[in-house]
Amino acid sequence: MADLALTRRQRVCILGATGSIGTNTLDVISRHPDRFEVWALSGAARVDELFQQCVQWRPRFAVMSSHEAARQLRDKLGDASLATEVLSGEQALCDVASHPDVDVVMGAIVGAAGLAPCMAAARAGKRLLLANKEALVVGGALFMNAVKAGGATLLPIDSEHSAIFQCLPEDASSWSARVDHIVLTASGGPFRQRDPATFADITPDQACAHPNWVMGRKISVDSATMMNKALEVIEARWLFGLRPEQIRVVLHPQSIIHSMVVCRDRSVLAQMGTPDMRVPIAYGLSWPERVESGADLLDFSQLSALTFEQADAVRYPGLQLAWETLLAAPGSTCVLNAANEVAVAAFLDKRIRFDEIHGVNVQSLSDCAVPAGAADTLEGLLSLDQQARRAAEAVVLRLAR
């Protein structure tokens, strides 16, 4: 992983600027105007939100997902006499992420849609702050090879992976010699103590009411099912070059210890802090230094207890799919991710029940055959992603009848 000399203000491209990670990134940047400048912003379809960000930050480029959303934003910026150039589509995302003027890319687009621009940033040798776990879940070895070939600096932004990174020695070549295994912590989401027999009655609003973190609706549902932790297991396998059996998960409802490294001598290194995404974001932006994040200081006098539990396989059946797909044919994790995106969207649209999400994922893995070599190219992975979505949608349609 290459370092980035902080000799001038770093130009930052934020992919997914209107989401929770994007807005938190802008909050951290606002605290360090001498170190960072906003060079490009992207939003899916939130025209008004991205317009307000453009008014405040005056980026060189703004990217929308569709031509119509881009037209609306362009009109609003024109009326405000702002010079920000508006682009649209996946290629535009790749172009701004790999632009020679960009130093840092925050990859915070939700889902598989973030893979191509994150790949572009990696190939261009950027400092890539990876909040889009799906880039590694879908891309796997192909993505890590792009990071290596491009000489990119890859820094994890998920609080769990940032915690692991902070606990590991700086010399990546010594990780395998020192580490026995890692432990990813999980809050357990809003239904940690709810009777699984009532899961059929869970509403989207209930599933999105996370007890500790403020997140988007998709990732909030993933937290409720623990599929977010399954995806993080897959991500950790690639980020840290670990075998699947070296990655473990434990429930930690307080979300104070963000993850742990268990060394070969049985020492346990843990990273602690308040549950605030600005901490890993600030660390990613400033690494190897540390800067003010805006998060509250952890007050040990207010901590009554730190507790840990095993994840209940009945309550969280999707968690085990992480290890199963890692041991299956290359590309299986891509199928799992695509199926889960379809299933969660169907639940949020009230087309299926909360307790049917897992069934969609399992059946899609069974129905979607992974062609040989599908994981060897970006085109192959994107084709497999679409194939898996069609299979998952077919399962949803059968359930919705």
* pLDDT tens per residue, range 270-311: 999 998 999 999 999 999 999 999 999 999 988 889 999 999
314-342 residue pLDDT tens = 999 999 999 999 999 999 999 999 999 99
- pLDDT, residue 143, reads 95
CA distance linking residue 60 with residue 347, whole number of Å: 38
CA distances from 309 to 188, 193, 249 (A): 9, 12, 10
Instruction: Give Cα 54 to chain centroid, integer Å.
Output: 24
| Helix (H) / strand (E) containing 343 | helix 332-348
**Residue located via tokens 């660390």:** 283
Taking the C-alpha atoms of residue 259 and residue 186, their distance in angstroms, rounded to an integer, is 9
- Tell me the β-bridge partners of 107: 15, 130
Residues with Cβ within 8 Å of 49's Cβ and at least 6 positions away in sequence, in order, are 18, 43
* Per-residue tens of pLDDT for the chain, all 401 residues: 444 444 689 999 999 999 999 999 999 999 999 999 999 999 988 999 999 999 999 999 999 999 999 999 999 999 999 999 999 999 999 999 999 999 999 999 987 788 999 999 999 999 999 998 888 999 999 999 999 999 999 999 999 999 999 999 877 777 878 899 999 999 998 999 999 999 999 999 999 987 776 677 888 999 999 999 999 999 999 999 999 999 999 999 999 999 999 999 999 999 999 989 999 999 999 999 999 999 999 999 888 899 999 999 999 999 999 999 999 999 999 999 999 999 999 999 999 999 999 999 999 999 999 999 999 999 999 999 999 999 999 999 999 87
Tokens standing for 43? 């939003």
pTM exceeding the 0.85 threshold for the entire prediction: yes
Residue 354: which of 229, 196, 233, 219 has the closest Cα? 196
Residues facing residue 183 across a β-bridge: 248, 260
Q: CB count, 10 Å around CB of 5?
A: 7
